[in-house]
Amino acid sequence: MTLAELAKGSVSKITAVTQDSDVLSSKLREIGFAEGDEVELLARGPIGGWPISVRLNRTVIALRKNEAALIEVEARV
């Protein structure tokens, strides 16, 4: 499952940052997305649910759909 597929309020663990787009993947890693970190989906935008707002390591970050689709997560039960 990817970060783009999570429901609002879901907390999950990052399992991978996909290497589809090397530039975009490296930028996501530079801002802190790494395997093993917990991420929480805080909110979805009003138009089509984008952008999304996530909490990562005590930081709130907004992501576009194509960015969120590169982050693979494992939902917590």
Q: What are the DSSP E strand ranges found in the chain?
A: 11-17, 38-45, 49-56, 59-63, 71-75
| pLDDT at 23 (0 to 100) | 86
Q: What is the mean pLDDT of the chain?
A: 92
pLDDT tens digit string along 18-41?
887 678 888 999 999 999 999 999
Q: Domain 3-75 belongs to what architecture?
A: Roll (2.30)
- pLDDT for residue 19: 80
pTM above 0.85, yes or no: yes
Q: What is the pLDDT of residues 63-75, one digit of tens each?
A: 999 999 999 999 8
